[in-house]
């Protein structure tokens, strides 16, 4: 390979990686004149290194873009997943002891927030759920609010509401659940019952897929 002096441009042939103290690395006449060691450069080797670096940066950018695209796809399908669940869950046997299955729902709002945890609110025959990114919790909160609509707001978080919420969860999950000690623990224990297996059986991705 040609090693070229940056000052006088004289070239010497040397291997691509000569030893650090190889005299061909240095231009001795220019070193003599300038009073300090003048190092030759190897343009073809530098070009190769640059090309490799550019390829690596491009590769990293492509993988970042793929990751971002998957993250965006994962987020954008979430409202649709929630609405599918809400409409499936509108007709649970748990909603009516009288054999009436359909939830008497006047209106609902499903929002998707950026936080991890979901929140919800029910009034009259309406509810609002703001789903977070942690999907099992959002599903448990959705069912929580639907249970409020089913039993009526006057029941609050009492035994009747707990009973219906638990029955609805058992129906959705297709297995019985143990009642938690108090109503505060209900939503988190029902969230925990939405296992990764259940989620994947229902085509719900808990986290964005890896690149």
Beta carbon nearer to Zn ion, 27 or 142: 27
Closest approach, Cβ 138 to Zn ion, in A, equals 14
Distance CA 195, CA 159 (A): 25
User: Please, which residue, 33 or 195, has the CB nearer to Zn ion?
Assistant: 33
Return the sign of the alpha-carbon dihedral for residues 168, 170, 176, 181: negative
- With respect to Zn ion, which residue has the nearer C-beta, 11 or 206? 11
Per-residue contact flags (x/-) with Zn ion for residues 15 to 34, judged by CB under 5 A: ------------x--x----
| Sole binder of Zn ion in the list 8, 37, 55, 69 (CB under 5 A) | 8
Q: Measured from the CB of residue 38, what is the shortest distance to Zn ion in angstroms?
A: 6
Would strands 126-131 and 107-112 be described as parallel, antiparallel, or unpaired? Answer: parallel
Segment interacting with Zn ion, rule: CB under 5 A, options 7-15, 55-63, 85-93, 200-208: 7-15
* Residue partners of 188: CB distance under 8 A and separation at least 6: 137, 140
Query: Where do the H-state alpha helices sit in the chain?
Result: 28-34, 43-76, 78-89, 135-151, 159-173, 186-193, 196-201
Helix (H, G, I), strand (E, B) or coil at 4: strand
7 binds Zn ion (CB under 5 A): yes
> Measured from the CB atom, is 38 or 204 closer to Zn ion?
38
Of 131, 128, 132, residue with least CA distance to 115: 132
Write the interaction track for Zn ion spanning residues 29-58; mark x where CB under 5 A is met and - where it is not: -x----------------------------
Q: Is 5 in the site for Zn ion (CB under 5 A)?
A: yes
In whole angstroms, the minimum distance from the beta carbon of 77 to Zn ion comes to: 27
User: In this structure, how many other beta carbons lie within 10 angstroms of the beta carbon of residue 160?
Assistant: 15
Q: How many CB atoms lie within 10 A of CB 169?
A: 26
Segment lying near Zn ion (by CB under 5 A), choices 4-12, 56-64, 82-90, 171-179: 4-12
Give the binding site for Zn ion (CB under 5 A): 5, 7-8, 27, 30
């Amino acid at each position: 390979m040609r090693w070229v002096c940056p000052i006088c441009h004289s070239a010497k042939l040397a291997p691509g990686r000569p030893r650090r103290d190889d005299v061909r690395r240095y231009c001795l006449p220019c070193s003599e004149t300038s009073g300090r060691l003048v190092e030759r450069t190897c343009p073809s080797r530098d070009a190769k290194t640059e090309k490799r670096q550019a390829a690596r940066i491009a590769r990293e950018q492509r993988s970042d873009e793929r990751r971002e695209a998957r993250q965006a796809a994962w987020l954008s399908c979430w409202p649709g997943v929630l609405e599918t669940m809400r409409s499936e869950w509108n007709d649970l046997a748990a909603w009516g002891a009288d054999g009436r299955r359909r939830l008497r729902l006047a209106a609902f709002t499903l929002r998707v927030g950026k936080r991890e945890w979901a929140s919800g609110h029910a009034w009259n025959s309406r509810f609002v759920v703001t789903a977070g990114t942690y999907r099992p919790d959002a599903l448990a909160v959705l069912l929580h609010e639907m249970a409020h609509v089913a039993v009526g707001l006057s029941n609050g978080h009492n035994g009747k509401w707990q009973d219906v919420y638990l029955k609805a969860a058992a129906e959705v999950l297709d297995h019985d659940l143990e009642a938690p000690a108090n109503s505060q623990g209900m939503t988190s224990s029902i969230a925990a019952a939405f296992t990764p297996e259940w989620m994947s059986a229902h085509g719900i991705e808990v986290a964005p897929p890896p690149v």
